[in-house]
Every structure is written in structure tokens, then in C-alpha cells.
Amino acid sequence: MVLWARGGQQMSKLVGHAEAIGHHGELVQGLFEDTGVHFRRALVSLPCRHLKTRASFRAQPGQPVAVSQPHCQKALRAAQMTLSAFAPEGMGGTLSVHSNIPIGRGMGSSTADVLASILAVLDCLQINASPERVMRIAVGAETACDSTLFSQQAVLFAHREGLVMEAFRKSLPALDVVSVDTMPEATVNTLEFEPARYDAAEIEAFRPLRSLLRTAINEANPCLLGKVATASAHMNERFLPKPRLDELEAIGTRFGAVGIQVAHSGTVAGLLFDKHDADTPRNIELAAEMLKRSAFEPTIFHS
């Protein structure tokens, strides 16, 4: 069977496949100045490569677009929007989505589902779309999305507009994370979660924080990056407080963590460790033991 894409390009691939990774919340999130006129909500996600969504799309001309997993409505919407933008009129098919990312924890499950679905449709159509076009579709499908498409390069990403505000010279410094779900009995619905309303002092604080972020990434300095993440985590407490965050931070400080970070629209928090520090494996072990004695349930993520 031979299909045809827009513009007369032959498309012979009936099934497209793709995957997208999740993350462990944000290293920083806030309101940042752009071009001296506008301020944009933006973030830097902390990618986790072992968390991922795999999607496949089987083309079926003349059929509606359907998803095998009924709860994946954002992914379905993303596939429909991608087909509308790139496929011949009347092209439909079946989307299948499988993920190991926890839902409602602030770990990028919906963005991974959406991105994997967009990329699977594009793979089926044999079309290479720009990251900017992909992210515009993603934002349209889920209102706001994370920066994990750009995991090979650190970016400050305007998550409600699908725009890269700043691309840094390097990728993020290598970090190991001891993860804790601070509210295991709760979830956060990002569509219902009201965006933070920063006051004037907080908005002004994001200026030096962005400068420190830039230096930390460009100089591959995990200690400085930890300070940025810690400051951002504390600013988030006014909007989505994490139970026992101070206790968690104290344990990290005791055992050599460079900082703490949180999901700004989720329930997880993480102690950050410099992956290249020779003491880090032992420090992580000791921190995890202390967390367990303190009734936390830690999980270790390696970058």
C-alpha cells in the first residue's frame, strides 16, 4: 500500500514509532524578562532518561484518529493536530501510547505522551519537522509543556508558548538525584493548577537567578546549579508547598547534596548530588538511609 503526504511526497511507512523522556521536576521555574519588554513564564526541566513514553501510530486513510489507551486524550489531540498540519486530508489511524512515568507527580508524563505521539505521527509520515513546530503543536495539545525535547542542550523554555528563551552553550552538569514523593497520597492536575502569581520582589529576584543559572550551565558547575535550584524550590513554596521540605533539605546538606529541587506543579522533590564527586556514591547511600529512618521513601536516579 502506498500513501501520499502533502505536496505529492510519497509515504510508504504505515507505522511510525517514537519515544520521549520524562523529567524530575524543574531546576528553575519563574517569570523571566525577554527583550526588555515582555516577561515570559519559563523553566528548565531536569531530564530523566529512564522515564519515557513510547508511542506508535498506524496510518489508516479514511478512518478517524483513535487512541488505544482512552485516558491519553492529550496524546490523541496531539496526533490529530499533527495530522491536520502535515497529512493529506482524510488521513486517520490508531495511536498507541505506553509509559513508565508516574502521573500527577510533576514528572512530565503528559508532555512525554504528547511529544512521543507527535513524533510517531511524523515518523509515519516521514516528515522532519523543526523543534519549534513540534513544540507549538505540543503546547496546543496540552496548554503548557516541558523542555525535555531539548535534553541534549540546556534551554530556558517558555512552557506556555513553546519558545526557547535562551539556549545555553552546554548541556546540564551531570547530577545524581535522590527522589522523594512529598505527597504520595495526592496528585496535581496541571490543567487545574493555577499558575504562580509572583510579586514584584520575586520577579526582580529572577534576574540574578537567571544569570547564576547561565554561569552554572556554561561552566558545568553543579554546586552553583544546586544553589539556583534551591532558591527556585523555596520560591515555589508560596504556591505549592512541599511537606517537610526543610527536613529533606537538612538531610541533603548533612550528606553533601549540592542543593534541592522540586516539581513546581507536582509532588516530587529531589536532593541533587555532583555525579563526578568521588564521595557522592557513599553520600547518596547515607542520605537514603537517613531518609528511610525519617519515614521518607527515597528513589535514586542517575543522570
- Per-residue pLDDT of 183-192, as tens digits, reads 988 776 666 6
Query: Is residue 9 a contact partner of residue 135, using CB atoms and an 8 Å limit?
Result: no
Architecture of domain 3-165: 2-Layer Sandwich (3.30)
Architecture of domain 172-302: 2-Layer Sandwich (3.30)
Q: What is the pLDDT of residues 75-120, one digit of tens each?
A: 999 999 999 999 998 999 999 999 999 998 999 999 999 999 999 9
Residues 112 and 121: their CA atoms lie apart, in Å, by 14
| Beta-ladder partners of 179 | 270, 299
In the chain, CATH 3.30.230.10 covers 3-165
Taking the C-alpha atoms of residue 270 and residue 280, their distance in angstroms, rounded to an integer, is 15
Q: What is the pTM of this model?
A: 0.91
Between CA 285 and CA 145 the distance in angstroms is: 33
Statement: residue 303 has pLDDT above 80: no
Give residue 13's pLDDT.
73
Close Cβ partners of 96 (under 8 Å, ≥ 6 residues apart): 55, 56, 57, 58, 67, 68, 69
Per the document, the length of the chain is 303
- The pLDDT value recorded for residue 1 is 42
Q: Model confidence at 14, in pLDDT bands (50, 70, 90)?
A: confident
pLDDT digits (tens, 9 = 90+) for 41-62: 999 999 999 999 999 999 999 9
* Residue 2 CB neighbours (<10 A): 7
- Stretch(es) of the chain classified as CATH 3.30.70.890: 172-302
Percentage of residues of the chain with pLDDT beyond 70: 93
Distance CA 57, CA 158 (A): 28
pLDDT at 153 over 90: no
| Residue 34, pLDDT score | 87
Is the pLDDT at 8 greater than 50, yes or no?
no
